[in-house]
Structure formats: structure tokens, C-alpha cells
Structure 1
Amino acid sequence: MSEIVQQLIDTSGFANLTFNNLFMIVLACFFLYLGIKKQYEPYLMIPISFGILLVNLPLANLMASGSDGTPGGLLYYLYQGTNLGIYPPLIFLCLGASTDFGPLLANPKTILLGGAAQFGIFAAFFLAVVLGMTPNEAASIGIIGGADGPTSIFLTTRLAPHLLSAIALAAYSYMALVPIIQPPIIRLLTTKKERQVQMKEARKVSQKEKIVFPIIVTIFVSLLVPSATTLIGMLMLGNLIRECKLVPKLTDALQNSLMYIVTILLGVTVGAKADGDIFLSVTTLKIIFLGLLAFCVGTAAGVLLGKVMYRLSGGKINPMIGAAGVSAVPMAARVVQNEGQKENPHNYLLMHAMGPNVAGVIGSAVAAGVLLAFFGR
């Protein structure tokens, strides 16, 4: 009887619990707290955190490959959708069906603000190389500056899959912290007079423009940066489905059921790559630092270009909308709206900020395509 009890103890998770396992389990519970109690990106923070929890439970073998002839773990098979780059483009398909590019079409020059905000990606890339990272690792870290989780995951699975969990968590954490990170940068770089600028109501965009736009963007971007076609193509297909108004059930499915299904699969499998032995390293600290730097530089670059446009327009453009050039849709645009309201209760900047905000989605996908073209295998 004692042998049976001893065997039960020896084969239990308690007997095989390492310090790394314990640390990661505590970390997973902390992230669950942030997702549930603090509501930091709960749709992704909760599944990612639970994936971290599951993969660090000793002997559960949920990420076992089954290479020895035994069946693999559940999360190993689900992870193939992430590993093969299937889930992120599907997220872009759903995102396209949820996005209104009208504000961008109403004021096309705001696409420059979306482009300027991508500067943080390349600033972090060069600094990462200086800090000893490989070009592939540096590119994967830099893309965090685009504040676009699916793009970060898509690029990392192709260039530096061993960094996937740390980069995904950094990317989504900074997206969730947009309302905390961006306001100080905006206030530092703008004057009270600039923040009080009221912008005129944008022109009404015709349905024909909205239908033609995704087709033209797909053709142009794909010819210019072929490696960006996967993300841009899915984004614009989703948007075309939305704007043609002919298949409302498809639009509804993309905006709701498919979006949530893919999100939970992506979140759990990304979290399942957060093995303690890999996650607890100096490299992870570098990723956290460089990701924050990339995000801050991207925000600052957008605001600074906004100040240039403010001067060139004779004070008609509020430079704060440049902060929305990062592709954290629509959180960054809401931050601009809130900051504008603080300075001037009659200031309504949300729709003006949505122009550079959706341009940032395109910009981050193009930036990922450029990096993939240079460093992809």
C-alpha cells in the first residue's frame, strides 16, 4: 500500500513542480488578475494567461509533440494554427469586417500620421541589434511598436518563434496600457493651444469609394511589398465584405463568432509557448524594454508629424491625432478624444483620430511585410 501511495506522490505534479513552473503559474494568475479585475485586453489577456497556466502545470504535457509515437497534447495541435501563420490573418479578416475606413478616405493625408507612427518599429529594431539581438529577433521585437498584436505574432512565428510568448505578451500588454502610456507623451510634445484645436467636420465618403478602396489597396500594397499580401489581403477582404452590403450574415459572422473563436485559439496557444525555462531570461527583459521604447517612439513620431501638419495647415489640424497612428484600434483614437475633451469640452476628435488609427493598421502590416522580405526564411 505504501508503494502505491509513494508512486502516486512521485507521479503527481506536486513532486515535479520546479521553481520555474511555480513562478510562471504565479505570473499567469497575475495576468489573469489584470485581465479580469483591471480589464486589460480581457479578450486576449484571459486566454493567454490561462495558456501560460496550462503549459506550466507539470506532467500535463499539453504541448507534447507526440514525436515518440504517442498522441500529442491538445495545445500542440491547436498551436499549429499559430505556428503556420493561420490565426493572425484570420484575425485581420475579422478586423477588416469591423473597420470603417471612411475617416481615412475623408482626410487622406492622415495616412502620413499612420506611417510616421511606425518609426518606433525601426528605432527599436536598430537598438535591439546594438544590444546584441539577431536581425530576426530585432525585427520581431520592433514590430511591437506598431501596437498590433496579430501582426507581432505573425512576424515572430516566421522570424523568431522562440520569442513568441514574450513578444505576444509585451505587445498585448502595451496595447492594453495605451490609456496610461500615451497621454503623458501627448502632453509633453504639444502645447495647450495645440490641444485645444477644433477640427472641421470631415466630408461624407460615398459607398463607391469605400468599395473601391480595399481593392486598390490590396493591388497596390501587394505589388509594392508582396510579403505583406497575407495580412493586407485578409484585412481588405474583410472590409470589402463589410462595405459591399450584400452579405450581412458573413459580416456578422466575421465581426462576432469567428473573431471570438480565433481570438481564444490564438490566445491560449500563444500563452502555451510561455515555458518557464524560455520565458525567464535576460532576453525577455530586453523585449519588455524595447517593446515599450518602440511604442513610445511611435506615439511621439506621430505627434511630432502632427505638429508639422498643424503648422502647415495654419492651425487647422490638431497634432494630437498623430498619437492615434499606432494601430491600437480604437483605443488610441479614444485617448486622443479624451485628451481633447479635457482641454476643450467642445472638441470632438474621435472621427478625425480614426483616420490615422486605421492607417496605422495598414502601416504596421506593411512594415511587417518589409521586415519579412529582408529577414524571412
Structure 2
Amino acid sequence: MFDTISELLQNSGIANMSFKELVMIVVALVFLYLAIRKGYEPYLLIPIAFGILLVNLPLGGLMSPPTDGESGGLLYYLYQGIDLGVYPPLIFLCLGASTDFGPLLANPKTLLLGGAAQFGIFSAFFLAIVVGMSPEEAASIGIIGGADGPTAIYLTSQLAEHILPAIALAAYSYMALVPIIQPPLMRLITNEEERKVKMEQLRSVSKKEKILFPIVTTLFVSLIIPSATTLIGMLMLGNLIRESGRVPKLTETLQNAFMYSVTVILGVSVGAKATGETFLTWTTIVITILGLIAFAVGTASGLLIGKLMYKWTNGQINPLIGAAGVSAVPMAARVVQKEGIKYNPNNYLLMHAMSPNVAGVIGSAVTAGVLLSFFG
């Protein structure tokens, strides 16, 4: 009896747990706390954190590859969707079905604000090169500046898979911290007079324009930057499904059930790569710091271009909307609205901010395509 109990304990996870596995389990529990208690990106952070928890439980074998006569672990097979670059484009398909490009079409000059936010990507890229990262790693770190989790996961899975857990967690952490990081930068870069600017109501965009936009955009971007076709194509397909008005059930499914299903699988799969050996490294710390710099520079660049547009248009553009040039849709636009209304209670900036916000989604996908064409 004693021998049986002793053997059971020796073969248990408790007896075989390493210090790094214990640390990662604590990390997973902290992320679960932040997601559930604090509400930080819960739709993705909960599955990511639980994936971290599962893969670091000793002897679970959830990420074990198949061997002769034995199948692999569940998470090993789910992860193939990331390894093969399937899940992020599916997220873009759903995102396209949820996005209204009307504000961008109504005020196309704000496309510059979405483009300006991409400066954060390239600033972090060059900083990463300076601190000794490879070009592939630097590109993966830089894309965090676009505040677009699926794009960051897609590019990293193609260029530097070994740092994917750190990239994914950094990208989604900074997306969740948009309401904390952006307002101080807004107040630092803009003055009170600029923040009070009330923008004119956007023009009405026709149905024809909304239908032509995803088709023309796909043709233009794909012919110029073929490596961006996967993400842009799926984004625009989802948007065309939405704007066609012919398949409302499909639109509803993409916006809700399918989006959440893919998000859960994507999150668990990303978390499943966060073992102690891959995550508890100096590289993870560097990625976290450079990711924050990328996000801050992206926000600041959008605000600075917003200030220039304020001057060019004789005060018709509120520079606060430049902060929404990052791809955190629609959180960044909501932060702009919340900040703007503090200085002018009649200031309704949400729809104006959505224009650079959705432009940022396109911009980050195009930038990822450019980086992939150089380093892929």
C-alpha cells in the first residue's frame, strides 16, 4: 500500500514540477486575475492565460508532438493553425465584417493619421536591431506598435516563432492598457485649445462607395504589396460581406459566434507556447520594453501629424483623433472621445476618430506585408 502511494506521488505533477513551471503557473494566474477581475482584454487574455496554465502543468503532454503509435497532445494540433498562419487571417475576416469604413471614406485625409501611427513600428524595429535582435525578431517586436494583436501574431509566426508568446502577450497587454497609456500622451503633445476643437459632421457615404472600397483596396494593395494579400484580402472580404447586405446571417455569424470561437482557439494556442524555457528569458523583458516604446511612438506620431493637420486646415481637425491611428479598434477611438469631451462637453469625436482607427488596421496589415516581403 505504501509503495503504491509512493509510486503515485513520484509520478504526479507535483513531484515533477520544475521551478520555471511553477513560475509560469503563477504568471498564468496573474493574467487570469487581470482578465477577470480588472477586465483587461478578457476575450483573449482568459484563453491565453489558461493555455499557459495547461502547458506548464507537468506531464500533461498537451503540446507533445505525435510519435510512432501515439497521437500528439490536443494543444499541439490546435497550434498548427498558428504555425500555418490560419487563425489571424480568420480574425481579420471577422474584423472586416465588424468594421464600418464609412468614416474613412467620408474624410479620407485622415488616412494620414493611420499611416503616421506606423512610425512606432519602425522606431521599435531599429531599436531592436541596435540591442542585438535579428531582423526577423526586430520586425516582430516592431509590429506591436500597431496595437493589432492578430497582425502581431501572424507576422511573428512567420518570422520568429520562438518569441511568439512574449509578442502576443505584449501586444494584447498594450491594447488593454490604451486607456492608461494614451491620455497622458494626448495631454503632453496637444494644448487645451486644440483639444476643444469641435469637428464638423461627416458627409453621408453611399452604399456604392462602401461596396467598391473593399474590392478596390484589395486590388490596389495586393498588386503593390503581394505579401499583404492574406490579411488585407480577409479583412476586405469580411467587409464586403457586411456591406453587400445580401447575407445578414453570415455577417452576424462572423461578427459574433465565429469571431469568439476563433479567438478562444487562437488564445489557448498562443498560451500553449509560453513554457518557462521560452518565456522566462531576457528577450521577453526586452520585447516588453520595446513594445511599449513602439506603442508610445505610434500614438505620439499620430498626435503630431494631427497637430500639423490642425494647422493646415485652420483649426478644423482636432489633433486628438491622431491617437486613434493605432489599430486598437474601437478602444482607441473611445479613448479619444472620452478625452475630448473633458474639454468640450459638446465635442463628439468618436466617429471622426474611427476614421484613423480603421486606417490604422489597414496600415498595420500593409506594414506587416512589407516586413514579410523583406524578411520572410
Residue 195 of structure 1: aligned partner: 195
Residues in 1 aligned to 2:41 and 2:361: alpha-carbon distance in whole angstroms: 18
SS of aligned partner of 1:246: coil
Deviations 1:181-224 (A, max 9, x none): 00000110000000000000010000000000000000000011
TM-score of the two chains, using structure 1 as the length reference:
0.99
Residues in 1 aligned to 2:95 and 2:59: alpha-carbon distance in whole angstroms: 37
Letter in 1 for 2:153: I
Residue 103 of structure 2: aligned partner: 103
Deviations 1:235-270 (A, max 9, x none): 000000000100001101100111011000000000
Residue 40 of structure 1: aligned partner: 40
Residue 253 of structure 1: aligned partner: 253
Map 1:113-152 → 2, pairs under 5 A: 113-152=113-152
Residues in 2 aligned to 1:181 and 1:69: alpha-carbon distance in whole angstroms: 51
Residue 58 of structure 2: aligned partner: 58
Shift of 1:66: 1.7
Shift of 1:6: 1.5
Residues in 2 aligned to 1:68 and 1:10: alpha-carbon distance in whole angstroms: 26
Residues in 2 aligned to 1:140 and 1:69: alpha-carbon distance in whole angstroms: 37
Letter in 1 for 2:359: A
Residues in 2 aligned to 1:266 and 1:354: alpha-carbon distance in whole angstroms: 26
Residue 266 of structure 2: aligned partner: 266
Shift of 1:68: 4.6
Residue 77 of structure 2: aligned partner: 77
Residue 167 of structure 2: aligned partner: 167
Residues in 2 aligned to 1:95 and 1:289: alpha-carbon distance in whole angstroms: 28
Count how many residue pairs are aligned between Structure 1 and Structure 2.
376
Residue 354 of structure 1: aligned partner: 354
Residues in 2 aligned to 1:158 and 1:275: alpha-carbon distance in whole angstroms: 20
Residue 322 of structure 2: aligned partner: 322
Letter in 1 for 2:193: K
Shift of 1:362: 0.1
Shift of 1:354: 0.2
Residue 373 of structure 1: aligned partner: 373
Deviations 1:98-139 (A, max 9, x none): 000000000000111000001000000000000000000000
SS of aligned partner of 2:57: coil
Letter in 2 for 1:91: I
Shift of 1:2: 2.3
Deviations 1:260-307 (A, max 9, x none): 110000000000000011100000000000000000000000000000
Residues in 2 aligned to 1:69 and 1:329: alpha-carbon distance in whole angstroms: 46
Letter in 1 for 2:321: I
Structure 2 stretches lacking a partner, 5+ long: none
Residues in 2 aligned to 1:36 and 1:4: alpha-carbon distance in whole angstroms: 40
Deviations 1:319-368 (A, max 9, x none): 01000000000000001000100011010000000000000000000000
SS of aligned partner of 1:164: helix
Letter in 1 for 2:135: P
Deviations 1:120-177 (A, max 9, x none): 0000000000000000000000000000000000000000000000100000000000
Residues in 2 aligned to 1:202 and 1:9: alpha-carbon distance in whole angstroms: 68
Residues in 2 aligned to 1:67 and 1:286: alpha-carbon distance in whole angstroms: 36
Residues in 1 aligned to 2:40 and 2:51: alpha-carbon distance in whole angstroms: 17
Residue 335 of structure 1: aligned partner: 335
Residue 206 of structure 1: aligned partner: 206
Deviations 1:4-29 (A, max 9, x none): 11210111000011110111101100
Map 1:271-282 → 2, pairs under 5 A: 271-282=271-282
Residues in 2 aligned to 1:86 and 1:105: alpha-carbon distance in whole angstroms: 29
Identity of aligned residues (%): 72
SS of aligned partner of 2:256: helix
SS of aligned partner of 1:16: coil
Structure 1 stretches lacking a partner, 5+ long: none
Shift of 1:40: 0.5
Residue 87 of structure 1: aligned partner: 87
Residue 283 of structure 1: aligned partner: 283
- With 67-76 and 55-64 compared, the bigger mean Cα shift is at 67-76
Shift of 1:3: 2.0
Letter in 1 for 2:241: I
Residues in 2 aligned to 1:62 and 1:53: alpha-carbon distance in whole angstroms: 11
Letter in 1 for 2:318: N
Residues in 1 aligned to 2:83 and 2:176: alpha-carbon distance in whole angstroms: 24
